[in-house]
Amino acid sequence: MYRSRLTTQRLAAVFLLGCLLFNYPLLALFNRAATLLGVPVLVAYIFVAWLGVIALAAVVIERPDD
Amino acid sequence: MLPGALVILVSFGYLALLFAVAWLADRRADQGRSLIASPTVYALSLAVYCTTWTFYGSVGRAAATGIGFLPIYLGPTLMMTLGWFLIHKIIRVAKANRITSIADFIASRYGKSQGLGGLVTVIAVVGVVPYIALQLKAVSHSFTILVGATPQTAPLAAGTVPLWQDNALYVAMIMAQFTILFGTRHLDATERHEGMVAAIAVESVVKLATFVAVGVFVTYGLFDGLGDLFARARAEPSLAALLTTADSAAGYGSWAALTFLSLLSVLLLPRQFQIAVVENVDAAHLRRAIWLFPLYLFVINLFVLPIALGGLLHFGSGQVDADTFVLTLPLANQREDLALLAYLGGLSAATGMIIVETIALSTMVCNDLVMPLLLRRDWFGLAARTDLSGLLLGIRRWAIIVILMLGYAYFRLAGEAYALVSIGLISFAAVAQFAPALIGGLYWKGATRAGALAGLAAGFAVWLYTLLLPSFAKSGWLPADAMTAGLFGIELLRPQQLFGLTGLDEISHCLLWSLLANLGAYIGFSLIRPPDAGEARQAGLFVDALRVEDTERWRGGLAGGGSQNLVADLLALAGRFLGPERARTAFSRYARARNATLETIQPDANLVYFAEAQLAGAIGSSSARVMVASVAQEEPLGLDEVMNILDEASQVRAYSRELEQKSQELTRATAELRAANARLRELDRMKDDFISTVSHELRTPLTSIRAFSEMLLDDPRLALAERKRFLGIVVGETERLSRLINQILDLAKLESGRADWARVPVDLAAVIHAAAASLGQLYREKEVALEIAIAEPLPPVLADHDRLVQVMINLLSNAVKFVPAGTGRVKVGAGGTAQGVRVEVADNGPGIQPEDREVIFEKFRQGGQDVLTDKPQGTGLGLPISRQIIEYFGGRLWLESPAAGGATFVFTLPLPPRDNAGKIYSGGSPDGQEDSDRR
């Protein structure tokens, strides 16, 4: 564990970012009737943000220890 | 519509396949070649989180609330980002303490409390029963729909069919049998089930593939892609509302509550704990699961909304139960094959959940509820029996059957009043009650058994009252007025508006009150009194998971044989690394702080800690732990400890390697400096020699000039011929003097690097002829033959014409000096070679002694003579200067002594570099290039 203290902090940051992205008020910003490429913006936003959080976590955890 | 026999056949075929996978994995595990020791399998097995709730229920949820189904999957994503320290720590603790279930974990944390383990088991069983009911409901409905003549227009009203015709009962019985086969064929001390995990991983792949297949079929088969689907949904006012979410505080509040709830559930559900912690092969597998499991959730949710919207558009709102769209959409479009696939996916989701959940629960029921009771009462004289494995297996099998029957009972009683997701959420809220005791217990040492018991009991009671009870009432099994009027008719106690709190959905409402009661009781009761010894010990074990393991084991050893020996051993150990004096001082200070002396120190865990801390400063904490362990009669090292030591050791090694490199560099630098110093001393000595030699050389002609001049001055009667001879000598000596001075100046210039000579193309043939011409008189006088053989044309070299003439003259005059008069022969040869031009001057003189061959190139040294005694025939500077000149132009000058006798001086000069046009590149002075050849 002590070997990856930085990784732990980064993942905690990803967690906080996810909490922020997945909740009010950011969620409310996209809660409207508009569409993006035919997909409602709210749906598009959540899925993109979700994938972003997963990708970030993957990058953080899979990069070699520094 | 499909024939029932076919569906049953396919179902059993599929279950048999799963069983084959499990059997294979079990066999491989026995052979030591685990199939599931892979981070990918681990991540896939975590996807047991996706049950029929996900497979059928999400679509129903989406049809009712739009994106409201998503928090259940966003929460686990967030939890996995925390997994690296939270789940990781739980796994480490669980492995170190041989934890077999979440009840075991919590009980173990609070002093191995049997009461606590039992309570957790009861909560888990009661809490999860609705969840199992959900699976039974989903499987039996999907079967009914698949073999039914028309898509179900409304969910079957359970309770209306007789018990023996209810296929949910048969599903429950088959599932029980299947689970017993999977999980309780034999006993495993670690409670690990490799075969089950392998089957779960396979099932995860099946449900993902089938759900995506249906999603693609709906989106691109029934509709013209996502754009078309969403566009048509927007056109219908009732569906357009699903594309946004309720823009209200309550809406976002319940969104956040569901996210939080699922965040906890992905860890706290008995089956998730089983898979993530108990079945974990290697904690490092978490690394991939942290992103792969959320990615799985992401993919399986991509088509939920499209299927829901597609179903609503296709069937119209309220016509078909949205929970069944995954099946009814393919069926209604004559794609029975796809419907059968989807049914298999749903069956995968259900069997996976039921198998893992009931195995986990049966383990808990057996280990934490029934066995403690049996052993305590000892009704059957169990303590005396040696082999209990048959009894244990029996208890577990019955537990599985009972749990599934409870699930079926809940399905009969309350299942039909709720959609799939709502049933599942009831279970989520129940297991969320474990969070304070489990997570708090990992980070707060002050938590006590009383706190955990009170918290769990309070939270569970509130859950029962605000969520489970209303679910019965809603189904008509309790009088409905209990809900509206409240307990004892007190309005403040209305289960779903407790204390008058309104405006929350039932889940958020329950979560708020139950966690409030839970946390409040947990903290409050924990603070009433400090943890007792047992609790404190376990708290240390869990909170300082890795550090304390060892100390704990020593404490056991110390309690038994706690002797003064240990103090002496630890002191000696510390002394070895810190120095005896320092160690003694430190231990004395430790003893004084405890009002003891070095001789009367208590050999307790504190002392071990202290010694370890002292050592850690010197040799690193891991190594210190191991060293201290070796003294305190430790068990063999664990792999982790060895890895940590290796880690530290390799750091130390890298460090020492650096030091070594540095010291080598220093040694090298020192050697260079020493060499430079020696060279400087040598140069200094040479300079002194040079000055004394030069003075001597200058004095010799000066002496003779002075002597002859004095004679001329003192004796006016000298004959004219005599005067002339004397003056001749004076003139000769003066010439010698000035030649000597010129050469010394040349040498000084050369050696200081200030010689500033031209570098132009020079024809060596011309140089040789010029030198021969200027010495022609000398050769003729001594009757020495001079032969010149030049292999024309010689390539030009880059040099200074005059300096090369000087070198040639020096070599030729040296040669003529040493050959005998009359018979002497000097041969000059020149020719081009690949590297440059080679010039030889060979004579037939006496030759040069081997020991003198390099000496002659030193200043003021001449072959076969000692400069100090014999009168020299030259200045002794000619050859050193010649060599310097040749080397200045990049060539070499050396002496060859042919076997035939005589001496041969050879020099070579390199060819100039040529540019692309073949013209000679003449260094820094291109001017004069044209005419230099003719010089």
pLDDT in tens, B830-865: 888 877 888 888 888 887 777 777 777 776 665 544
Measured between beta carbons, the chain A residues lying within 8 angstroms of B289 are: none
* Residue B70 touches partner A, C-beta closer than 8 Å: yes
CB-nearest partner of B77 from A23, A50, A62 = A50
How many whole angstroms from its chain centre is CA B468?
A: 47
Among B62-66, B306-310, B648-652, B744-748, whose mean pLDDT is lowest? B648-652
Measured between beta carbons, the chain B residues lying within 8 angstroms of A12 are: 81-82, 85
CB-nearest partner of A40 from B70, B243, B290 = B243
Two structure tokens written together for B809: 């003259």
CA quadruple B762, B766, B772, B774: dihedral, nearest 10: -80
For chain A, positions 17-36, list CB contacts with chain B under 8 A. Answer: 18-19, 22-24, 27-28, 31-33, 35
* Residue A63 touches partner B, C-beta closer than 8 Å: no
Task: Look at A54 and B294 and tell me if their CB atoms are within 8 Å.
Answer: yes
Q: By three-state DSSP, how is residue B797 classified?
A: strand
Q: Tell me the torsion sign for CA atoms B883, B887, B888, B891.
A: positive
How many CA within 13 A on the CB side of residue B157? 3
Residue of chain A whose alpha carbon sits nearest to that of B648: A3
Put residue B89 in one of left, alpha, beta given phi > 0 → left and psi -120 to 50 → alpha.
alpha
Mean pLDDT for B91-104 is 82
CB-nearest partner of A38 from B77, B78, B231 = B231
CA quadruple B514, B519, B520, B521: dihedral, nearest 10: 90
Task: Enter the DSSP assignment of B850.
Answer: G
* Residue B259 touches partner A, C-beta closer than 8 Å: yes
Length of chain A: 66
* Residue A47 touches partner B, C-beta closer than 8 Å: yes
Model confidence pLDDT, tens digit, residues B165-217: 677 788 888 888 888 887 777 666 566 778 888 888 999 999 999 999 999 99
Q: Which residues is B906 bridged to in the sheet?
A: B840, B894
Task: Look at B81 and A12 and tell me if their CB atoms are within 8 Å.
Answer: yes
Measured between beta carbons, the chain A residues lying within 8 angstroms of B71 are: 22
Instruction: Report d(CA B875, CA B858) in Å as an integer.
Output: 12
pLDDT-based confidence at B930, cuts 50/70/90?
very low
The CATH architecture assigned to B758-932 reads: 2-Layer Sandwich (3.30)
Q: For chain A, which ranges sit under pLDDT 50?
A: 1-3
Mean pLDDT for B69-92 is 88
In this predicted structure, the answer to whether residue B668 has a pLDDT above a threshold of 90 is yes
Residue of B59, B67, B57 lying closest to B243 (CA atoms): B67
Per-residue model confidence (pLDDT) at position B481: 65
Residue of chain B whose alpha carbon sits nearest to that of A63: B287
Q: Which residue has the higher pLDDT, B560 or B349?
A: B349
Task: Enter the DSSP assignment of B529.
Answer: S
* Residue B86 touches partner A, C-beta closer than 8 Å: no
Q: By three-state DSSP, how is residue B821 classified?
A: coil
Task: Look at B81 and A50 and tell me if their CB atoms are within 8 Å.
Answer: no
Compute the nearest-CA separation of B432 from chain A (Å).
Answer: 19
How many CA within 13 A on the CB side of residue B368? 30
Q: Where do the structural domains in chain B lie, given as residue ranges?
A: 4-68+130-381+401-416, 544-637, 645-748, 758-932
| DSSP characters over B434-445 | HHIIIIIHHH-T
CA quadruple B532, B534, B538, B544: dihedral, nearest 10: 60
Residue B700 CB burial class (10 angstroms; 0-12, 13-18, ≥19): middle
Tokens 């050389």: give the residue: B697
Q: Which residue has the higher pLDDT, B273 or B871?
A: B273
How close are the terminal C-alpha atoms of chain B, in Å? 114
CB-nearest partner of B230 from A14, A23, A39 = A39
| Spatial contact of B373 and B106, defined as CB atoms under 8 Å apart | no
Per-residue model confidence (pLDDT) at position B622: 59
Instruction: Report d(CA B348, CA B201) in Å as an integer.
Output: 10
Instruction: Report d(CA B513, CA B508) in Å as an integer.
Output: 9
State how beta strands A39-40 and B904-910 pair: unpaired
| H/E stretch holding B77 | helix B71-83
Q: Tell me the torsion sign for CA atoms B113, B118, B121, B127.
A: negative
The ipTM is 0.94
Instruction: Report d(CA B204, CA B48) in Å as an integer.
Output: 7
Distances (CA, A) of B564 to B93, B166, B521: 32, 73, 44
Model confidence pLDDT, tens digit, residues B376-415: 666 665 555 556 667 778 888 888 899 989 888 888 877 6
Measured between beta carbons, the chain B residues lying within 8 angstroms of A31 are: 244-245, 247
| DSSP characters over B707-758 | HHHHHHHH-TT--HHHHHHHHHHHHHHHHHHHHHHHHHHHHHHHHHT-----
Residue of chain B whose alpha carbon sits nearest to that of A33: B244
Model confidence pLDDT, tens digit, residues B855-892: 777 766 655 444 443 444 566 777 888 888 888 888 88
Task: Look at B291 and A22 and tell me if their CB atoms are within 8 Å.
Answer: no
State how beta strands B836-843 and B892-896 pair: unpaired
* Residue B298 touches partner A, C-beta closer than 8 Å: yes
Instruction: Report d(CA B503, CA B809) in Å as an integer.
Output: 118
* Residue A6 touches partner B, C-beta closer than 8 Å: no
* Residue A58 touches partner B, C-beta closer than 8 Å: yes
Q: Which residue has the higher pLDDT, A34 or B618?
A: A34
Distances (CA, A) of B386 to B187, B381, B391, B597, B760: 15, 11, 11, 49, 108
Q: Which residue has the higher pLDDT, B535 or B905?
A: B905
How many CA within 13 A on the CB side of residue B369? 20
In this predicted structure, the answer to whether residue B667 has a pLDDT above a threshold of 90 is yes
Residue of chain A whose alpha carbon sits nearest to that of B286: A61
* Residue B242 touches partner A, C-beta closer than 8 Å: no
Q: Which residues is B904 bridged to in the sheet?
A: B842, B896
Measured between beta carbons, the chain B residues lying within 8 angstroms of A42 are: 67, 243-245
The CATH architecture assigned to B645-748 reads: Orthogonal Bundle (1.10)
Q: pTM to 2 decimals?
A: 0.62
CB-nearest partner of A58 from B256, B259, B291 = B291
Task: Look at A1 and B252 and tell me if their CB atoms are within 8 Å.
Answer: no
